[in-house]
Structure formats: C-alpha cells, structure tokens
C-alpha cells in the first residue's frame, strides 16, 4: 500500500500483467504467485492515498472503487495523516502548523474519497471504509507489526536502504525538488515505517481472510519484501500487486 511519491524502474523479474478488466480497464500485476492467489481470492483490498499525490483524482478513484467493489468483498482506504504530520515536523515546521496542515489535507483527501464513492455507487459502509492512520495506531496488530518492522530496520541493511530511498523521494517532493539532508532522510524513514505493517499483515490488521495492497508503479520496498530479500516476511495471507489503468 504504498502511500508516497515514488519513481523507479520495474523489477527485472516482475510478474506479467493479468488481463485487463474490460469494464473499468485496470491491469493487475501480482509480485509473486502467492500474491496472485491472494488477488484471485478477492477478499480484501487496501487503498492507500498519500498527501500531495495527484494521481488519485476523484475520477480515477471513482473508476477504481467501482472496479474494486466488483472484485473484492471489502475495501479499506487508509490516509496516512500521522505519517504526514511527522514528515512536516522533519522538514522544520512547528508542531502547531504540522498538526493543522495534516488535519486540513487529510480531511480533503477523505472528502475526495467520499465523493468518489458516491459517484461509483459504493457507499461508505462495513464493506467500504475510510481510515485515518492516526485512528489505527492503537490497533494491537498494527502496533506489533510496527515494532517488528522497527527492530528489523536496525539489523537489515537492504530493508533500511529501501526505506531511506522512499523517505528521500517523499521529502524531495515536499521540498519541491530541493535535496533533503541525510538527517532529514533518516528521520523521514518513519513515514515508510508507518506503512510497513500494511505490507506485512493488513489481513490481520483488518481481520479478513486475506488482503491485497497495491501501488500503480513498482517500488523497491515491496519488491524486496515480497521476493524475500529482507528479514521481514509478509504473511501468506498478504499480497501485493501493481494495479494501474490499462
């Protein structure tokens, strides 16, 4: 569920795309055979929407929600308000400004999702919910997975480098192309750290049989996790895919 700004080349061994869905025109590329199995089960989808990411427009979200509802039993949308607030602090903004800005932008994203859901005739309900990350911080499964991820960051060089890469890209975007300092990059790694529990076990976080996270282009962190190149191992009930308009 990557909820960030990212730019990278596709992994060399990326799975071939599944046939595009004809009604709404989305292509799905699971990272592994197990990810494909999770996708085909169609039990649950996590949609992560980051701040400042113009990709998830109302029109695209409308199409995606309509398509997702036809494929999955349940959808949970996550807005990383807490992680965004922390990144604003990393960039030197006051706690008061960071709190106010995060609240304003998070509310705007949530309203965008609600408008798209109404247009897609997918009402916000038990089957389609919208969460702020701050509302999930007390979830015991999320907390346990986040602790595991934080411990792994101290011991796993490849995992740390993948998170630093994501932090650098997100801060670079927030700084409008200016280069963040290495201290800022390391502090900003808490943003991808906040996402890692969903990569590892969103099925357990949301108490569903299996769960798929996705982004619309490849990212090194997901590739490293699901191709077992780090010390963290996603649950077998967890999948990840690249989903994009075809």
pLDDT, tens digit, 9 for 90 and up, residues 80-139: 999 999 989 998 999 999 999 999 999 999 999 999 999 999 988 889 999 999 999 999
Of the candidates 61, 58, 63, 48, the one whose C-alpha atom is nearest the C-alpha of residue 170 is 48
Of the candidates 192, 209, 194, the one whose C-alpha atom is nearest the C-alpha of residue 135 is 194
The residue whose two tokens read 């109302």 is: 58
Angle between helices 81-90 and 157-174 (to 10 degrees): 80
Q: Is the confidence at residue 5, as pLDDT, over 50?
A: no
The residue whose two tokens read 């025109």 is: 25
Mean pLDDT, residues 147-176:
88
Tell me the C-alpha distance between 190 and 203, whole Å: 22
Which residues, other chains included, contact 40 with Cβ-Cβ below 8 Å and sequence gap of 6+? none
The model scores a pTM over 0.75 = yes
Across 14-23, 114-123, 135-144, 210-219, least confident range: 14-23
Let me know if 89 is a catalytic residue. no
The architecture in CATH of the region 43-245 reads 3-Layer(aba) Sandwich (3.40)
Domain boundaries, given as residue ranges, for the chain: 43-245
Catalytic choice (7, 8, 27, 50): 50
Q: 5-9 long-range CB contacts below 8 Å, 24 or more apart?
A: 5/50, 5/52, 5/53, 5/169, 5/170, 5/172, 5/173, 6/166, 6/169, 6/215, 6/217, 6/219, 7/169, 7/217, 8/217, 8/218, 8/219, 8/220, 9/218
């Amino acid at each position: 569920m990557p909820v960030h700004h990212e730019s990278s080349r596709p992994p060399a061994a990326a799975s071939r795309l599944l046939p595009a869905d004809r009604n709404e025109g989305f292509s799905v590329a699971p990272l592994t055979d197990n990810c494909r199995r999770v996708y085909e089960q169609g039990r649950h989808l996590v949609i992560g929407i980051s701040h400042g990411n113009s990709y998830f427009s109302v029109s695209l979200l409308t199409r995606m929600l309509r398509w997702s509802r036809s494929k999955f039993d349940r959808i949970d949308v996550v807005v990383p308000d807490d992680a965004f607030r922390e990144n604003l602090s990393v960039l030197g903004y006051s706690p008061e400004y960071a709190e106010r800005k995060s609240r304003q932008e998070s509310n705007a994203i949530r309203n965008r999702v609600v408008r798209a859901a109404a247009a897609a005739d997918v009402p916000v309900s038990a089957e389609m919910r919208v969460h702020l990350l701050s509302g999930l911080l007390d979830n015991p499964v999320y907390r346990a997975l986040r602790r595991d991820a934080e411990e792994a960051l101290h011991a796993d060089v490849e995992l740390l480098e993948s998170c630093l890469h994501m932090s650098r890209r997100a801060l670079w975007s927030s700084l409008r192309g200016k280069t963040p300092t290495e201290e800022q990059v390391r502090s900003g790694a808490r943003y991808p750290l906040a996402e890692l529990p969903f990569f590892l076990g969103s099925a357990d976080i949301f108490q569903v049989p299996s769960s798929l996270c996705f982004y619309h282009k490849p990212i090194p962190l997901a590739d490293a996790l699901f191709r077992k190149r780090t010390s963290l191992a996603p649950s077998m009930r967890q999948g990840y895919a690249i989903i994009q308009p075809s």
